[in-house]
Structure formats: structure tokens, C-alpha cells
Amino acid sequence: MAYRETPRMRARKEATRQRILDTTQSLVASGGFGAASVARVAEESGVAIGSVYRHFESKSDLFAEVFRHATEVEVKRVGEALNTTGPADEALAKALEVFARRAIRSPTMAWALIAEPVDPLVDEERLRYRQAYAELFEQTLVRGIREGCFRPDQNPKLSSAATVGAIAEALVGPLSPAADGLDREKADQLIHDVVRLCLQAVRAPGGQQQ
């Protein structure tokens, strides 16, 4: 008789897989990918090391899935901010602020997602993740050009990619484990500065300043 997985076995398997993912994500949030060794993931998930490899082909695959899950949430929040009513420049400013504020609130996780040297599979996810933001920003740039708040003489695809690069790179230093922590006032100033910089790059001449 062929092996048949019962619904109950399947549910238990799925629960273990999810527990491994959640544990890994918590470890990354507190110490970066570097803190999430398979031994530690197994221990804190209450499973054997071999069990981690039954659910994920390799540590890289596990990391890539954690990366995807964590960034989907971030991209969704930025997308929601862009879709608020109001002029395109306000929507873009709001979205950049959401990105930066969420990053500063979870600096270790944000640094892990944006810049931590990890693994080529994670780097591939990173390229896709940046592309996802760029596509969202591009829609808002196109809308803002139509509305007149953004310069018409720009390439929205290029400007949107540049915006993603600008905000991510501006945060790498302040988020890095080597940096001093940011108090509320410094964090607000940082967010204000980076949002203003990004907006000024794309704004129509004579457009309102932040």
C-alpha cells in the first residue's frame, strides 16, 4: 500500500514548518541572519536539526523564505501608504516615511533585509524586493507627473529605482549594528531629511517644499 499522509499528519507538518519560519524570523529580528544558525533555529523551534532540513532544502532556502515573508509585509505597508487619497507628492512622502519609520523601529531586521551580507539566494530576493518597491513608486511618479507635482522631464522608471536606492542606502549607515542607537529626535530628523531629499529629486520646479 502506498504511503498516504493523513490530514492530521499534514497539519502537524505544516505547523512545524511554520514554527521553524517564525523562530528564524525572530532570531533575524534580534541578531540578523548571522544569529540564525540551523542549530539555534532547531533548538528554539524544539525540533532536531535534521527536521529543519526535512522542511527546507538548505539554510539558504530557509533564509530566502524568511526574507520573502518579512519583505512582503514591508512592501504591503508602503503600497498602502501610496494608495491613500491626496496628491501624489504627499503619497510618496508618506510612503517613504512609513518605510523609514518601520526600518528604524526594527533596526536589526531592517539592516538584515537591506544590507546584511548573507547568501546569494537572499541577494536574489533582495533584487526582487527592490524591484517591487520601484514598481510601486513608479505608479505614483507617473500619477504625480500627470498631476503636475513631479517634473515631466524625468524617466519614471529610472527615478523610482533611484528613490529605492536612495532611501535604502541612506538608512544603511544609521541602521548598521556598528551605529549608535537613534533617539526619537534624531530618528525624526533622519526621516525628515531623507524624505525631503527624495521628494526634491523628483518634484516639479516651484513645487511645494516639505
100 binds its own copies (CB under 8 A): no
Is residue 205 a contact residue for its own copies (CB under 8 A)? yes
Cα angle, residue 76 at apex, residues 68 and 182 outer, rounded to 5°: 85
Closest approach of Cβ 177 to its own copies, in Å?
12
Q: What is the 3-state secondary structure (H, E, C) of 131-163?
A: HHHHHHHHHHHHHHHHHCCECCCCCHHHHHHHH
- Cα separation, 99 vs 86, in Å, equals 19
Three-class DSSP category at 32: coil
C-alpha cell at 121: 539566494
What's the CA gap between 57 and 165, in Å, rounded?
A: 31
Cβ 200 to its own copies, closest distance in Å? 5
One of 19, 51, 130, 135 touching its own copies (CB under 8 A): 130
Reduced DSSP (H G I as helix, E B as strand, rest coil) percent helix, strand, coil of the chain, to 5: 75, 0, 25
Region 142-201 residues binding its own copies, contact defined as CB under 8 A: 151, 154-155, 157-159, 161-170, 172-173, 189-190, 193-194, 196-198, 200-201
**Minimum separation from the CB atom of position 50 to its own copies (A):** 25
Stretch that binds its own copies, among 1-9, 10-18, 42-50, 124-132 (CB under 8 A): 124-132
Residue 66 in the binding site for its own copies (CB under 8 A): no
Query: What part of residues 32-51 is at the interface with its own copies (CB under 8 A)?
Result: none
